[in-house]
């Protein structure tokens, strides 16, 4: 059994559970670990509805799972990370998005999914991210 952090999609019509990647899952008997620490904020794309939101510490819940979390060995899910630029020239340069995919997906698939208007959200200044302009590598967290 694994005690692991989860978030729920902030789209009220979706509320899909998204398991957070966690490099070393804590022992369930050790109680809730002090993670993430401090001012943790990351943007996650919901694979189900495609909406992107920022999540921070107060959005995290802890739950018990039978299966290993995303990006763990033997997991059937992996978390990918992509950087994008807002198309508005005067805008914040870059932002990082995370998305959880089935672990058999490869980089071209993830890139195409993110590029294919399946994902939508706002840049840090509130511009609609369409079209998405990916900047640089799309990479998998902790590939084993």
Give residues in contact with Zn ion (CB under 5 A): 9, 11, 14, 16, 46, 48-49, 86, 88, 91, 123, 125, 127
Separation CA 19–CA 60 (nearest Å): 10
Cβ proximity to Zn ion, 49 vs 135, nearer residue = 49
Output Rg (C-alpha) for the chain, integer angstroms: 15
Separation CA 72–CA 67 (nearest Å): 10
Nearest CA among 24, 40, 17 for reference residue 142: 24
Cβ proximity to Zn ion, 3 vs 7, nearer residue = 7
Beta strands 2-8 and 17-19: pairing type? antiparallel
CB of 28 to Zn ion, least distance (A): 27
CB of 14 to Zn ion, least distance (A): 3
Separation CA 79–CA 136 (nearest Å): 17
Cβ proximity to Zn ion, 28 vs 83, nearer residue = 83
CB of 34 to Zn ion, least distance (A): 28
CB of 112 to Zn ion, least distance (A): 19
């Amino acid at each position: 059994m694994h005690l692991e952090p989860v978030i729920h999609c902030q789209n009220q019509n979706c509320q899909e559970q998204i398991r957070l990647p966690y490099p070393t899952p804590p022992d369930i008997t050790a109680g809730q670990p002090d993670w993430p620490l401090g001012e943790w904020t990351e943007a996650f794309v919901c694979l189900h509805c495609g909406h992107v939101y920022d999540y921070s510490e107060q959005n995290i819940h802890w739950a018990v799972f039978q299966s290993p979390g995303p990006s763990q060995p033997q997991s059937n899910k992996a978390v990918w990370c992509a950087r994008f630029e807002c198309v508005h020239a005067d805008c914040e340069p870059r932002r990082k998005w995370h998305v959880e995919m089935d672990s058999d997906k490869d980089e071209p698939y993830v890139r195409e999914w993110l590029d294919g208007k399946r994902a939508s959200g706002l840049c840090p200044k509130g511009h609609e991210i369409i079209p998405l302009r990916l900047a640089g590598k799309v990479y998998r967290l902790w590939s084993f």
